[in-house]
Copies of this chain bind each other. A is one copy, B any other.
């Protein structure tokens, strides 16, 4: 069908999947890396940096924003985007928890 059975999974699972999915595209990985490195974060700079057309970049930014990975604030004429550290921390902690559980396991078949 192409439609995800969202209701069959927990809110947390859907929330994590949303964040992970938003990061699951090289352009969006690239945007996050750029915003991590750079000090100013004007939207136009991101467009210039990426090998994609402006509407495409705008769409990717929207998706990252929707997942809470970035946030934007109006800066006069332009818009300033930057990473929402909290969301990255949430994801980081989630993975740390998984790694922790794995290390405490007695058996490991594979």
Contacts and interface: CB of A to CB of B under 8 A. Distances in A.
Interface of A: 4-6, 8-10, 13-14, 16-18, 20-30, 32-33, 36-37, 39-41, 51-52, 71-73, 75, 80-85, 88-89, 91-92, 95-96, 98-99, 101-102, 105-110
Number of this chain's copies in the assembly equals 2
Which of A30, A33, A85, A110 has the most B CB atoms < 10 Å from its CB? A110
B88 A98 contact: yes
Contact of A95 (B25, B39, B75, B95): B95
Which of A9, A18, A80, A84 has the most B CB atoms < 10 Å from its CB? A9
Contact of A40 (B4, B21, B39, B107): B107
